[in-house]
Structure 1
């Protein structure tokens, strides 16, 4: 009986050891997935951050708005300035009412005469611009006049005070107009005067001045 009891005890002991071993084996198997889950989590987070950083870099390089720009300037507000906007200028004509007023202000040499407009160089970039007036149906010796306008296309006066013939603009720039006046010196034909002189009408910053002088033969003493 004693031998049998010891044998049974030994068998029970072995079973207990086997059971513990089996439990230990189950715990190890269960812990392994937990370790894998923790290890896999950081790569997922790193990938997400890298993607966001790439998007920001691409946006900075491509710029913002219709004209693009550099990355550092994307979020920079446009500078402000107290300066007045640059004046836009170019070829433009006086308002019809202003042109009519200018023509009407110049008397003709008699009731049978009427002005017609001639050559002009209207440009609001210029300090002064001009328009020539000719006598309707006239010849080369018929009265003419020169209208002068400022850069706002406002009429500011005539070249000289009286109407004379043989007037021709031969040059113009931003602030001056050069005019040639011919005149008779003797018995030459009216269509071929031999005398000639030039004057320049110049803007001096506040008004138009005439550089040069006209002989009496040009004005006939009228101005």
Structure 2
């Protein structure tokens, strides 16, 4: 006999298991995203980024980390740094760490904007000749796009010149 109590027990057993649905139903289900923890994402992956001249990295902007986005990011800089200290952009695909946007960090806080769900635009700032270090006027622009077919991020544009 299928009583409400037995039905409830069966539902609780099936709830955490994908096996209770057919493979077709599981494939048709949308991705379920949980609230992301940007600090945990940083902590879990920071060891993959080498220290910079003996300095550890710290998060300076985690507001764009989104475990439900094709491409999201966090901006990091060195502990005890200044405005011109190096910065990296940590990239994530559905919350999974991909690596930094560029192999080398660049000085000054980059301006990063979302273009769409799988692409960001970065403006790097750098001092031109005669600029005060606190007011750089040089800019270069780069784009970073998640390419689903290649399963990687594709960069376009430029980074600051080597000084």
Q: TM-score, length-normalised on structure 1?
A: 0.55
Q: Which residue of 2 aligns with 1:86?
A: 30
Q: Verify the 8 A CA contact 2:142 2:155 in the aligned structure 1.
A: yes
Residues 128-161 of structure 1: per-residue CA shift (max 9 Å, x gap): 111111111211100111111110x221110000
Residues 96-124 of structure 1: per-residue CA shift (max 9 Å, x gap): 3x53242111122212x221112121223
Q: CA deviation at 1:82?
A: 2.7
Q: Which residue of 1 aligns with 2:71?
A: 128
CA 1:83/1:169 → structure 2, altered by over 3 Å: closer, same or farther? farther
Q: Work out whether 1:154 is the aligned partner of 2:96.
A: yes
**Higher relative contact order, chain-length normalized (CA < 8 Å, sep 6+):** 2
CA distance in 1 between partners of 2:39 and 2:58 (Å):
17
Equivalent residue in structure 2 for 1:185, among 128, 151, 154:
128
CA 1:95/1:187 → structure 2, altered by over 3 Å: closer, same or farther? closer
CA 1:214/1:129 → structure 2, altered by over 3 Å: closer, same or farther? same
Gaps of 5+ in 1: 1-79
CA distance in 2 between partners of 1:132 and 1:102 (Å):
13
| Structure showing greater Rg | 1
Q: Which residue of 2 aligns with 1:69?
A: none
Equivalent residue in structure 1 for 2:155, among 202, 210, 219:
210
Higher share in helix? 1
**Alignment RMSD (CA, Å):** 2.2
Higher share in strand? 2
Gaps of 5+ in 2: 1-21
Q: TM-score, length-normalised on structure 2?
A: 0.73
CA distance in 2 between partners of 1:184 and 1:169 (Å):
15
